[in-house]
Structure 1
């Protein structure tokens, strides 16, 4: 049997029941989580002026859309389950693909599920204080679980149960919550323009828009004091690269739709279109939201918003004392829909890995509803463990550098596959090839080099996590060959 042929399934088979609309809702739904409401603060602290902050968001959006256009070609060539894992396997070798799948399961997908679930619980506590992180639910010696952690786990379990029933359940939730969050963000933008915009603030922010500096925080008499340090030239480029981590990974997980290509109708066309339309839609929404922040808040208040909650600070100007509740409700809607999409898509990668003999064998089987339920529940268990550990956020910071490297490797794979399989059908070809893919790779290298120099903690721990997968790969391969 050809490696590209679908393996036999124990229970059922994947059902192509998702439309182009479902694909767009998945892409937009997993991209919009809680990042857009928070990360502009760190971006402003890192690059300084309003113009530079907006440039970081424009560049992040540009890279995301270019990557989506490039992945469209790969999705047309390999329209089955597994997505990026399959692209890496076919362009390089099973080891590179496994290391991506290993990182996806141990940190990227499960860590993101945990982060988004806990964000849902945190903002639920704004509306319902008895759900707070400081309220213990269970305490045994040094081990304790808060009410917020329990709510986060309950949400993960619920979404896993829903999506293990059928793909139809997951797509209904995705449609409802993604549509709701997009409408809510459009409402926030409109309200910001008509109710929250202040002409004085807007003009003041743009008067010094291209002043470039970053804030350095020091302790003076026991108090944290932030000082603006000017930067220009290569240092400015490096700071833009560092700041782009926020914009890029507020848009991350857009590739999730490639994981479920086996369940999308007319995947040769619809996966690529879903990537393009979804990433473009979210990029526009993100730029509009940041313009609202700039219209409602002085740039320094954006940079030093309490707990980085820029949207909440802007919302107070727009809606008055009810602003925090409005934003909390929006983030709850946003994170619930986001987690549904991430939960739904991840198990399809484990399915592909299992059928290569590189994951738990049962994860490569579908239930009678045509869903890889075992993979979903394994993912649920590990994501829940990360919720309890409290280290999920650190793990995601560590893996950011590696995620970007895998994106660059995948896009470089287009060049390799065109050489390896020149006659293979390509229903969709990457727009702007070879120029746009090369630009993406060069921009990605700038971000990675900037992180290596100025945020090393975001680099080597992630590489260690990935390299730990090398011995696991060979042990798994040995076991598979023996059996």
Structure 2
């Protein structure tokens, strides 16, 4: 039971280029840029390598995004990456992606971002802290931050269940505010709080390769395999902070002129975020020593930088910025995810109700199913572990999708391609090579980030055959 064009056309095309670009940028920018640079510095040690990691991540992300442009122009339908995998490979590969997305990738990210919102809200309202345990049920301890996270997820799900127009307004407004706020923080750091002595000291050892030990507070020189391991480990954080750009492909059925606007929004959104991320790290280097970045309390490097710029009020400045950032980020993730489940259901690979539109012409059942599962993950407190497990899997699915460009060029040589992947075949091939190199490094040096993720994916195989058998029985 494949999705038909008529079914896809039931959705309202309410989103323009600005909305799509803000969805790309807003879904990418959550809390990562405010935190992960500490871990990157501990792994690679110096200013040059810190910027190198972020530039490399940005290049890899932009290459992937512009490569997806060809696929989005060929298949401008709800479901995005799920559809690309189905058309290039088969229903099983596509299902395994959708399964991973529902169980961990999308739901786990929404849970983590929601709890990040609550944790920084606790700077303003201490009672919302994750240290405020409300109920201790033995195997599960429920804290205030978890309940705040669930409340924001429920609110955003409700808003998005009442029409895509509501979701797009929140997304566009919050993303513009967060971009302006981040830009202001960067400018203030680079101009008002620029510390020449700190900047020169950081860049005097720009390409020293060291690993900072958080326990002893010392730095140890590394090279060769240890440096490669450090780069791979560092990129777990930067890649995750730059993820979710593909969410705009999920809502292709609601974007005006999708053959043009999806590919263009992917390029513009990832480019904007890359510039913001690199600039933010230059700001950190202009205000903080390498030690201060590496050992920022709870890795909240942006809080330490803001305190250097604004004094003690800087903590509140960053708290408000992260609340805005995470709220807008979750809106985009919640809005987009249900469109994949909608397409899966129409393929007979998910609950039938998820493939139906509500009276507001959005997949309301899928939105609420996602909300319930995400809330469960919030309560378990295991979403952070799940996200560590799947970064490896996310990279594999990205690589498989881009390999799909090569497959479809041979499989469907005469298909209409309003846009062709920039730099084909060199740039897409370079992305695949880079993604698999990082994956190999993770397999070797970070096995705890790989095997559990693979197990989660493989658990989807028997589920696929169950759904497939059910679909055949209904035909």
Q: TM-score, normalised by structure 2?
A: 0.98
Partners of 1:179 and 1:8 in 2: CA distance: 33
> Which residue matches 1:445?
436
Tell me how far 1:135 sits from its aligned partner.
1.8
In the alignment, is the contact (CA less than 8 A) between 1:76 and 1:427 conserved in 2? yes
> Which residue matches 1:198?
195
In the alignment, is the contact (CA less than 8 A) between 2:67 and 2:428 conserved in 1? yes
> Which residue matches 2:154?
157
RMSD value, Cα: 1.3
> Which residue matches 2:376?
385
Q: Secondary structure at the match of 1:286?
A: helix
In the alignment, is the contact (CA less than 8 A) between 2:41 and 2:212 conserved in 1? no
Partners of 2:122 and 2:465 in 1: CA distance: 45
Partners of 2:453 and 2:347 in 1: CA distance: 25
> Which residue matches 2:329?
338
Q: Secondary structure at the match of 1:332?
A: helix
- Which of 3, 27, 51 aligns to 1:30? It is 27
- Structure 2 gaps, min length 5: none
Partners of 1:238 and 1:440 in 2: CA distance: 19
> Which residue matches 1:71?
68
1:106 aligns with 2:103: yes
Partners of 1:278 and 1:393 in 2: CA distance: 26
> Which residue matches 1:276?
267
Summarize the Cα distance change of 1:294–1:171 in structure 2 as closer, same or farther, 3 Å threshold: same
Tell me how far 1:141 sits from its aligned partner.
5.3
- Which of 401, 407, 411 aligns to 2:398? It is 407
1:261 aligns with 2:260: no
Tell me how far 1:172 sits from its aligned partner.
0.6
- Which of 290, 293, 298 aligns to 1:299? It is 290
Partners of 2:413 and 2:10 in 1: CA distance: 31
Q: How does 1:98-177 map to 2 (within 5 A)?
A: 98-140=95-137, 142-177=139-174
Q: Secondary structure at the match of 2:123?
A: helix
Q: Secondary structure at the match of 1:209?
A: coil
Tell me how far 1:138 sits from its aligned partner.
3.9
How many residues align structurally?
474
* Larger CA deviation: 157-166 vs 437-446: 437-446
- Could you give the per-residue CA deviations for residues 246-276 of structure 1, whole angstroms, max 9, x where no partner exists? 1111010000000000100000000000000
> Which residue matches 2:465?
474
- Could you give the per-residue CA deviations for residues 53-102 of structure 1, whole angstroms, max 9, x where no partner exists? 10000000000000000000000000000000000011011101000000
In the alignment, is the contact (CA less than 8 A) between 2:140 and 2:379 conserved in 1? no
Partners of 1:307 and 1:407 in 2: CA distance: 31
In the alignment, is the contact (CA less than 8 A) between 2:344 and 2:355 conserved in 1? yes
Tell me how far 1:449 sits from its aligned partner.
1.3
> Which residue matches 1:90?
87
* Larger CA deviation: 30-39 vs 449-458: 449-458
In the alignment, is the contact (CA less than 8 A) between 1:245 and 1:447 conserved in 2? no
